Structure 1
Amino acid sequence: MVLQDLGRRINAAVTDLTRSATLDEKAFDGMIKEISNALVEADVNIKLVATLRKTIKASVKFHELPPHANKKRIIQKAVFDSLVDIVNPHQGAYQPKKGKSNVIMFVGLQGAGKTTTCTKLARWYQARGFRTCLVCADTFRAGAFDQLKQNATKAKIPYYGSLTQTDPVVVARDGVEKFKKERFEIIIVDTSGRHQQEDALFAEMVEIQAAVQPHQTVMVLDASIGQAAEAQSRAFKETADFGAIIITKTDGAAAGGGAISAVAATHTPIVFIGTGEHLLDLEKFNPQSFVSKLLGMGDMQGLVEHVQSLKLDQKETMKNITEGKFSVRDLRDQLSNIMKMGPLSKMAGMIPGLSGMMGQMDDEEGSLKLKRMIYICDSMTTKELDSDGKIFVEQPTRMTRVARGSGTSVREVEELLAQARLMGGMAKKMKGGLAGMQKAQGAMGGAGKQGQMAAMQKRLASMGGGGGAGGMPDMGTLMKMMGGGAGGAGGGGGGMPDMSQLMSMMGNMGGNAGGGMPGAGRGGRR
């Protein structure tokens, strides 16, 4: 994952310092040097790194700190705030308005992923109730219109383009006028990839901009572009004056710091980051959440939005939970829901502590473990699935039969049944208090989204050590706090398994993954 190694190195440098017996100015300087080296190796501009060093040093003045000051917490907060400042241009991006036509024009280098990102963004706005459409003004690249047509058809988004008209200015103008008449709210215009040395293509870009009068021009930057990102983005800024950046291909193995440098150089906000090839692999960017994920502290807001966007069906499970029941079938449904959430590495970045627990387990291995659990459930009879698992204890031969039928071991079957019994016990305990919890959710809902997030962060902070993974909350509690994110009227996904125990089942990994920077998130967040 792009920037993952950078995050590990920064986190390791801070953790080593805060754990050392002698926390003095010399050790502090060593930490800053290690962080600076990691940033430079990740292609972050050297001038930007020098500014970061000065900022951290200015924030932590050892000779002025009172004797009782918590030096560890001050250092953690200084590092967190300084990293947030790098990716935060302190300028807001354009916010599309419902009920009117919002034209968004895409620019960028060839191969940055503009066409795919256009469809991803259209799909993102479509999921939030906007009438979206696409205009292909890339007449230069062979197959550009076919690619956009395929993507748009797959996402069920109206599109416009021409196989005969070669003038991109005409295609862009005609497409935008057509969709404006049809009262579309988000009109996204895809243009040809171009380089700063291609004067004719840069002039064409200005002509398209004049023809469609976009409300926002977005530059698409490939995360792997390296040090060239700053020069290219400056050239585009001077010519097209783009107002937002989308960074693509952050799921690759490249350094990725060049794209961060481009943000600082142009004082332009990042609005989204592309995290994969799927149409849903687009995340809204938030500086605090980005740095929090980078340092292994999780991204609770991103997790909430991701789960809510999936609209997982949890009605039957919630009904059982309210009655104090939890069957093997409920566990199977929750395992399927976890599979739908996307790659485990993506989820691990959002859930505090989980990325550490995964260790060297890749998405393929983690997915295979989950599938094996589902195979075990699929090899059970209806009676076994609808039971709480005790039937297997009373008749052990059933375990042998299920293991053979699913191609797994008896031990794996035992582990899955142990998880089902554990969740069943939790369901019985929650039966009495669920009504009160839902009532509290209703009260929290009235406080607005920021109030909900603040309340959730407060509850997460109070859970420390309850999940067996350095303070990571169990997934059932987390889903309830999301209120309504899983589709049913009863709220979010009640019986979902404790993620720390699930990961333990998947690789018997255990251990303390808490590490990280406790308190830095609270100190650095708004």
Structure 2
Amino acid sequence: MVLQDLGRRINAAVSDLTRAPNIDEKAFDSMLKEIGNALVEADVNVKLVAQLRKSIKTTVNFKELPPAVNKKRLIQKTVFDELVRLVDPHAEPFKPKKGKSNVIMFVGLQGAGKTTSCTKLARHYQSRGFRACLVCADTFRAGAFDQLRQNATKAKIPYYGSLTETDPAVVARDGVDKFKKEKFEVIIVDTSGRHRQESALFQEMMDIQAAVQPDETIMVLDATIGQQAEAQAKAFKEAADFGAIIITKTDGHAKGGGAISAVAATHTPIVFLGTGEHMLDLERFAPQQFVQKLLGMGDMAGLVEHVQSLKLDQKDTIKHITEGIFTVRDLRDQLSNIMKMGPLSKMAGMIPGMSGLMAGMDDEEGSAKLKRMIYICDSMTDKELDSDGKLFLEQPSRMTRVARGSGTYVREVEDLLTQQRMMAGMAKKMGGNMKNMQRAQSAMAGPNKQQQLAAMQKRLQSMGGAGGAGGPGGLGGMMPDMGSLMKMLGGGGGGGMPDMGGMDMQAMMQQMGMGMGGGGSPGAGRGGRRK
């Protein structure tokens, strides 16, 4: 991940200082120097780095600090706040309005990933209820229209382009006029890639802008181009005055600090980060969440939004949990849902504390092991899938048959069944707690009702069930036990992952549409299996 090394180095510098028994000015200067070096090596502009160091030093002035101040907390908060300020231009990005045509034009360098980003953004708005479409005004690059057509067809998004018209301004105007008449709400115009030294292409970009009169112009910046990003962004800003930035290829291992410099230089907000080649690999950018993720503090809001966009099917599993049941089929469905969430490292970056434990783990290897676990489930009969796993203990020959049928080892089948039994135990405890609470709620009456309910919720929370104040509807610890699951996948070392039940998972689950009252949308079917 771009900037992952930067985050690790900043984190290490702050941690080393705050762990020290005595924090003095010399140690503080040493930390600032390490943070500055890390930022410069990640291609962040030297002037910005100097400004950041000066701001941190001004806030944490050792000579003027009162004796009672917690220096460790102050330093941690100041570093965090200044990093947020570095990527926050304090400008509101454009938000399309429903019921009217919103024209969004894309500009940027060749090879930055504009065409793919156009389709991702159209799909993003489409999934949020907007009528979105695409216009290909790139008549310069051979195959540009074919690429956009393939992407749009795959994502089921209407598109417009021409194989005969060579003037991109004419194509853009015709496409926008057509879709405006058809009452489309988000019209995204893709343009040719161009460099700041290509004056004719810059003039062409301004001609397209004049022809379509966009409500928003977005510059697509490749995270891997380094310090050139700032100069290019300034040139585009002067010519096209873009109002937002999308940074692509942040799933690579480049330094990526140049993109941060471009944001600071143009005072333009980043609206999205491209995190991969898949249509779903587009993350909404928020300065605080970005820095939290950078420093390994997680991004739970991003995780919630990502899971919501996938519309995972949880109805059967939730129904079983309320009854205190967790079958092998439930485990299979949860494994399938984890696969849909994308690379494990991406998920780990969103969950506090997990990114460090995932550091030595390979996405490809983890994904392959998840697939093997699904193959094991797919080699079972319906009777075995709908069981609590005891069938295999009573008849061990079933494990041998399943291992052969799935091309795996008996040990892997045993590991999967161990995971299922552990989660079944959690479901049983939680289902019982829910029933007790529901019975108690119906029996409660009088002025002490709220007090009794609060006491019961507290007891349930301490047992690892639903947290927070939302009643008995949450799932608490019933997200897959990531600790043992990651051990099975070969990651996390001996420490395991943090217990998911320790977070305020109830509120998160309710937002995902997984609460007891909600149902979630139908997801992938189960396919054919042996009887």
* Secondary structure class of the residue paired with 2:82: helix
Write the letter of the residue equivalent to 2:348. A
Q: Larger deviation: 107-116 or 17-26? A: 17-26
Q: Which residue of 2 is the match for residue 175 of structure 1?
A: 175
Q: Which residue of 1 is the match for residue 214 of structure 2?
A: 214
Q: Which residue of 2 is the match for residue 128 of structure 1?
A: 128
Q: TM-score, normalised by structure 2?
A: 0.85
Q: Which residue of 1 is the match for residue 65 of structure 2?
A: 65
1:276 to partner: Cα distance: 0.5
Q: Which residue of 2 is the match for residue 198 of structure 1?
A: 198
Mapped to 1, the partners of 2:476 and 2:189 lie a distance apart of: 38
* Secondary structure class of the residue paired with 1:283: strand
Mapped to 1, the partners of 2:209 and 2:174 lie a distance apart of: 13
Mapped to 2, the partners of 1:481 and 1:408 lie a distance apart of: 44
Write the letter of the residue equivalent to 2:198. E
Deviations 1:366-412 (A, max 9, x none): 11121222222223333222221223333334333333433333333
Q: Which residue of 2 is the match for residue 498 of structure 1?
A: 481
Q: Which residue of 2 is the match for residue 359 of structure 1?
A: 359
Q: Larger deviation: 104-113 or 410-419? A: 410-419
**8 A Cα contact 2:403 2:410, kept in partner:** yes
* Secondary structure class of the residue paired with 2:63: helix
Aligned 1:68-87 pairs, distance under 5 A: 68-87=68-87
* Secondary structure class of the residue paired with 1:104: strand
Specify whether residues 321 and 99 from structure 1 end up closer, same or farther in structure 2 by C-alpha distance, changes over 3 A only.
Answer: same
1:512 to partner: Cα distance: 7.2
Mapped to 2, the partners of 1:437 and 1:289 lie a distance apart of: 35
1:435 to partner: Cα distance: 7.1
Q: Which residue of 2 is the match for residue 153 of structure 1?
A: 153
Q: Which residue of 1 is the match for residue 419 of structure 2?
A: 419
Write the letter of the residue equivalent to 1:511. G
Count of residues in Structure 1 that have an aligned counterpart in Structure 2: 477
**8 A Cα contact 1:357 1:510, kept in partner:** no
* Secondary structure class of the residue paired with 2:331: helix
More RCO (CA 8 Å, sep 6+): 1
Mapped to 1, the partners of 2:133 and 2:79 lie a distance apart of: 42
Q: Larger deviation: 236-245 or 494-503? A: 494-503
Mapped to 2, the partners of 1:437 and 1:226 lie a distance apart of: 57
Q: TM-score, normalised by structure 1?
A: 0.86
Specify whether residues 435 and 13 from structure 1 end up closer, same or farther in structure 2 by C-alpha distance, changes over 3 A only.
Answer: farther
**8 A Cα contact 2:43 2:226, kept in partner:** yes
Mapped to 2, the partners of 1:434 and 1:264 lie a distance apart of: 51
Q: Which residue of 2 is the match for residue 272 of structure 1?
A: 272
* Secondary structure class of the residue paired with 1:105: strand
Q: Which residue of 2 is the match for residue 511 of structure 1?
A: 495
**8 A Cα contact 1:134 1:159, kept in partner:** yes
Aligned 1:4-43 pairs, distance under 5 A: 4-43=4-43
Write the letter of the residue equivalent to 1:503. M
Mapped to 2, the partners of 1:70 and 1:373 lie a distance apart of: 48
Q: Which residue of 2 is the match for residue 310 of structure 1?
A: 310
Aligned 1:228-239 pairs, distance under 5 A: 228-239=228-239
The structure that has the greater radius of gyration is: 2
Specify whether residues 437 and 78 from structure 1 end up closer, same or farther in structure 2 by C-alpha distance, changes over 3 A only.
Answer: farther
Specify whether residues 259 and 101 from structure 1 end up closer, same or farther in structure 2 by C-alpha distance, changes over 3 A only.
Answer: same
**8 A Cα contact 1:218 1:245, kept in partner:** yes
Q: Which residue of 2 is the match for residue 253 of structure 1?
A: 253
Mapped to 1, the partners of 2:204 and 2:279 lie a distance apart of: 29
Write the letter of the residue equivalent to 1:40. V
Specify whether residues 229 and 299 from structure 1 end up closer, same or farther in structure 2 by C-alpha distance, changes over 3 A only.
Answer: same
Mapped to 1, the partners of 2:6 and 2:477 lie a distance apart of: 36
Specify whether residues 513 and 95 from structure 1 end up closer, same or farther in structure 2 by C-alpha distance, changes over 3 A only.
Answer: same
Q: Which residue of 2 is the match for residue 471 of structure 1?
A: none
Percent identical among aligned pairs is: 78
Deviations 1:36-56 (A, max 9, x none): 111101100000000110111
1:193 to partner: Cα distance: 0.9
Mapped to 2, the partners of 1:183 and 1:437 lie a distance apart of: 51
Specify whether residues 192 and 477 from structure 1 end up closer, same or farther in structure 2 by C-alpha distance, changes over 3 A only.
Answer: farther
